[in-house]
Homo-oligomer: A and B are copies of this chain.
Amino acid sequence: MKTLRRQSFLVAMCACVLAFTATITRAADPLSSWNDGKAKQSIVAFVNKVTQPGAPGFVPEAERIATFDNDGALWAEQPMYFQAFFVVDRIKALAPRHPEWKTTEPFASVLKGDMKAALAGGEKVLLEMVMATHAGMSTAEFEQIVKDWIATAKHPKTGRPFTEMVYQPMLELLAYLRANGFKTYIVSGGGIEFMRPWTEKVYGVPPEQVIGSSIKTKYEIRDGKPVLVRLPEINFIDDKEGKPIAINQHIGRRPIAAFGNSDGDLQMLQWTTAGAGPRFALIVHHTDAEREWAYDRKSHIGKLDKALDEAPARGWTVVDMKHDWKTVFGASTRQ
């Protein structure tokens, strides 16, 4: 009897442990917001391939560089780039100091809330608005302005903070890659100093792994203390051909994996996948008009045309947002 009881106990224990392990395994799926399908499978297969010591595709940790576009790849970008909302809010905040803006375009239209008219002047006036709002202060002052704005600003359609309009499946992907020894970088057309104040908290990407467009700065001593003053002059546009150029300048290594969503990422994906050994490229295709937005070849924001054509021939993974993602945005983290 005693032996039997012990055996039953052991069997029960084993069952219990097995059940527990199964729960753990299920709960610990690092990509739980991804539906099982080709996209998820291709990610997992690539990570398994490059992380197995001794296997032919093994890549040492130091070389596991992954680069992510931001707008439309990590957070949403409709109805306009979120940084454009920042520009508008800054123009409104600065208007009292600039009475001339009431009668000067593009500022007059922005203040009237007519963005279409404001942007009619094309790239030139956009640049003018960026310079009027992004330059003329120290880097420390600008950092504080961005921090204050990102903590309070809300998306006009969803009413949620912009930092809650990040894609839950992509957050899981970032964490999954890092858990497998990857260094994750952001390589975005957005402003480098517009992103750095919040990317560590939101994406787990520290400032030194954020690459973006930038304006020039000037070193000055003010009241005996050194400051970097932001100048109204473009330093670098980190888009299209600019992305591989900036990757080379900042990182000095070719990524083995790259993630984007538009033709602005095409050269980064080409550059990444043209290297020797295992390479991975992924395009987030916005196909979900209900949960997010649906747009590609004809969109003014995040146009995806050439890269979508190149993807099949080059073996790049295309994420069909509607079918590949269980959830798009995560649960709200604020009250």
> Could you tell me if A248 and B208 are in contact, using CB atoms closer than 8 angstroms?
no
Best-buried of A200, A208, A214 by chain B (most CB within 10 Å): A208
Stretch from A48-56, A112-120, A250-258 at the B interface: A250-258
Asked whether any CB of chain B lies closer than 8 Å to the CB of A62, the reply is: yes
Best-buried of A183, A207, A225, A253 by chain B (most CB within 10 Å): A207
What's the minimum C-beta distance from A276 to chain B, rounded to whole angstroms? Answer: 11
Known: A228-B244, A249-B192. A267 touches B219 (CB 8 A): yes
B-chain residues with CB within 8 Å of residue A249 when the two chains form the complex: 192, 214, 217, 235
Selected contact of A226 from candidates B62, B219, B267, CB within 8 Å: B267
Interface 0/1 of A204-239, CB less than 8 Å to B: 001110100010011101000110100000010000
B-chain residues with CB within 8 Å of residue A217 when the two chains form the complex: 245, 248-249
> Could you tell me if B139 and A226 are in contact, using CB atoms closer than 8 angstroms?
no
Asked whether any CB of chain B lies closer than 8 Å to the CB of A58, the reply is: no
Chain A interface, number of residues (Cβ within 8 angstroms): 34
Q: Give how many copies assemble into the complex.
A: 2
Asked whether any CB of chain B lies closer than 8 Å to the CB of A85, the reply is: no
B-chain residues with CB within 8 Å of residue A226 when the two chains form the complex: 244, 267, 270-271, 274
> Could you tell me if A196 and B252 are in contact, using CB atoms closer than 8 angstroms?
yes
Asked whether any CB of chain B lies closer than 8 Å to the CB of A241, the reply is: yes
> Could you tell me if B206 and A219 are in contact, using CB atoms closer than 8 angstroms?
no
- Residue on B nearest A244 in the bound complex, by CB: B219
Interface 0/1 of A262-278, CB less than 8 Å to B: 00000100110010000
Please provide the 10 A-B residue pairs with the shortest distance between their CB atoms, ordered closest to farther: A207-B252, A219-B241, A208-B251, A196-B252, A226-B270, A226-B271, A226-B274, A219-B244, A217-B245, A207-B253
With contacts A192-B252, A219-B244 known, what are 5 further pairs, Cβ within 8 A?
A62-B206, A218-B245, A225-B274, A226-B270, A228-B244
Residues of A within 8 A of B (CB): 62, 65, 139, 183, 192-193, 196, 200, 206-208, 210, 214, 217-219, 221, 225-226, 228, 235, 241, 244-245, 248-253, 267, 270-271, 274
